[in-house]
Amino acid sequence: MLQTVRTFFTYAAIGIVNTAVSLLLYFLLIALHITPTIALAVSYFAGMGTSYFLNARFTFNQNAYSAALVLRFLTVNVVLLLMSEWSLHEIMHVLTRSAYLAQIVNVIPMTLIGYLANRQFVFTARHDDRENRIYAGFFGCAVGIALIQRIWVTLGGYLFSATHHVKTLKWLLIQGLIHWDAGWFLSIARHGYVHVTQLAFFPFYPVIIRVFHDATTLPDTVSGVIVSSVSFVVAMYYLGRIAHRLFSTRVAILAMLFFAFFPTSYYFDAPYSEALFMALSLAAVENAYRRNFFLASFLTALATLTRNTGALLLLLVFWQYLSWRGMDFRFYTRAWWKKLDYRVMSLTLPIVFLLSYAVWLHQHYGHYLAFLTAEKHWHRQYMPLWDTYAHTLRQYITGLHPILASYYLLLELISALLSIVFIALSIWSYRVHRAQGDWILYLVILTWIASTEPSVNIPDYLVSLPRYLLMLFPGFILLAERFPRIAVAIPLLLVSAIFLLRLSGLYYSGSWIA
């Protein structure tokens, strides 16, 4: 107990130190005539770096030179920053209008929460040097692959986009990526939910953009691209960790490459929620494999507030819990219930978060499931999978569709075929390894959802399937596991990258691609 109190006060003292470092550096940069935006960003990250190294050394006595530790620290403390911004806003709304008084009220509980979160999720049990080197390698690969993919997507926008704009660097890096749903996300980030139609877009991604914009004063368009780009790196990092844990390093690297150069992966670079959703999803699954079920459930809850399909991740997390406890699915027996322990309670977090959001929707829009009502404004309705596939095939063969081009219909059909291939690979893998049976269920359910929500007013029967494939992460791992030989993997990657280059140009042109 005394040790806990001592480390808490050490953590609080370091908080004062890193705050002082941030302020001093900010004032120094301002005195040197550095712009406030850059000064704020540099001072903030300097303070965070000070916090990391001092807490690693003096509070938790851990080796600070660990890529996995750094990534966990950044993830947890960004979440803490969002929580602090939200709680400060609520305190000013409910208790006092004074920003200074609100911050005083806010700092005590947030310091305690920050201490507990860093102790539980960041500075946990030490890993051996070999494991740290492997994780550092995956993080480096994720950064390198993301950079190459971004250059490749930008090249596609430069070469193949049909636009009257001058293709400046700013347009290629930022403005050319603002199309379709990106505009809706940015509008929500700027103004909140104004129209019922916006409720089809879940809130966590716009909230992250708004907080990043407020913290850095960068334009919301730039903030959206940065949030997506960083999330893309995190998603690839955890994808590699999962593949390495289950198979091998080679499979991990190939899975990251297949994922990064998938034909519609340009959505990871744009202000869309895909990158953040995949970062949260893959981090949740990897933590479930590490038996850290509270963090896995918390990340699943955040993923659920990013996209409604995040609730499906609970299946994967619960499956790992049952595996860890040595349990099957005979939940109708008394012995099954006796094997449950207190950790199972954490699996209710995604449900609690989703119910809280539903209550908020009811308070503001009079309906607990208002996001389903919003789908009707987008002319979405349920249609069985076999009907959507048949209608799309008929449109492609007859060529009679008044709006959609034949190449787009072909892309939807290829996407449907690829989703079936992913499911087949998961069944094959289960028969060979007798493991990852949860992947079969996840792939089947998500494919069904993605294939049964046509936009009937166009009509476009597989309207979002090429983009939904990005969420079928087990498929990328299993593709790499099934075809690990370079002679096969390289041609597959080249074909995928060529499609990505061409589709990136279409997206930059403002063409609807999923």
Say whether both 176 and 115 belong to one domain: no
Asked if residue 322 belongs to a domain, the reply is yes
Asked if residue 27 belongs to a domain, the reply is yes
Asked if residue 440 belongs to a domain, the reply is no
Q: What is the C-alpha to C-alpha distance for residues 99 and 443, in angstroms, rounded to an integer?
A: 48
Asked if residue 474 belongs to a domain, the reply is no
Contact 202, 307 (CB under 8 A): yes
**Three-state secondary structure call for residue 337:** helix
Q: How far is CA 483 from CA 147, 376, 479, in A?
A: 25, 42, 6
CA angle, 10 as apex, 9 and 11 as ends, to 5°? 90
Asked if residue 472 belongs to a domain, the reply is no
3-state secondary structure 158-196: HHHCCCCCCCCHHHHHCHHHCCCHHHHHHHHHHHCCCCH
Say whether both 188 and 54 belong to one domain: no
Say whether both 136 and 10 belong to one domain: no
Say whether both 115 and 166 belong to one domain: no
Q: What is the C-alpha to C-alpha distance for residues 43 and 49, in angstroms, rounded to an integer?
A: 10
Q: State the pLDDT at residue 469.
A: 96
| pLDDT under 50: residue ranges of the chain | none
Say whether both 213 and 290 belong to one domain: yes
> Cβ neighbours of residue 461 under 8 Å, at least 6 residues apart?
383, 387, 388, 389, 391, 392, 395, 412, 454
Contact 464, 378 (CB under 8 A): no
Say whether both 142 and 275 belong to one domain: yes
Say whether both 117 and 203 belong to one domain: no
Q: State the pLDDT at residue 93.
A: 65
Asked if residue 248 belongs to a domain, the reply is yes
Total domain count for the chain? 2
Asked if residue 443 belongs to a domain, the reply is no
Q: What is the C-alpha to C-alpha distance for residues 285 and 242, in angstroms, rounded to an integer?
A: 8
pTM of the model: 0.83
| Count of residues in the chain | 514
Q: What is the C-alpha to C-alpha distance for residues 21 and 343, in angstroms, rounded to an integer?
A: 39
Say whether both 236 and 158 belong to one domain: yes
Say whether both 168 and 292 belong to one domain: yes
Asked if residue 477 belongs to a domain, the reply is no
> Which residues are paired to 143 by β-bridges?
none
Say whether both 215 and 352 belong to one domain: yes
pLDDT tens digits for range 170-219: 889 999 999 999 999 999 999 989 888 899 999 999 999 988 888 788 89
CA angle, 367 as apex, 366 and 373 as ends, to 5°? 120
Q: State the pLDDT at residue 240.
A: 96
Say whether both 114 and 142 belong to one domain: no
Q: State the pLDDT at residue 477.
A: 97
Say whether both 109 and 136 belong to one domain: no
pLDDT tens digits for range 328-380: 888 888 888 888 888 888 899 899 989 999 998 988 888 888 888 888 777 88
* Domain that includes residue 177, residue range: 129-378+483-508
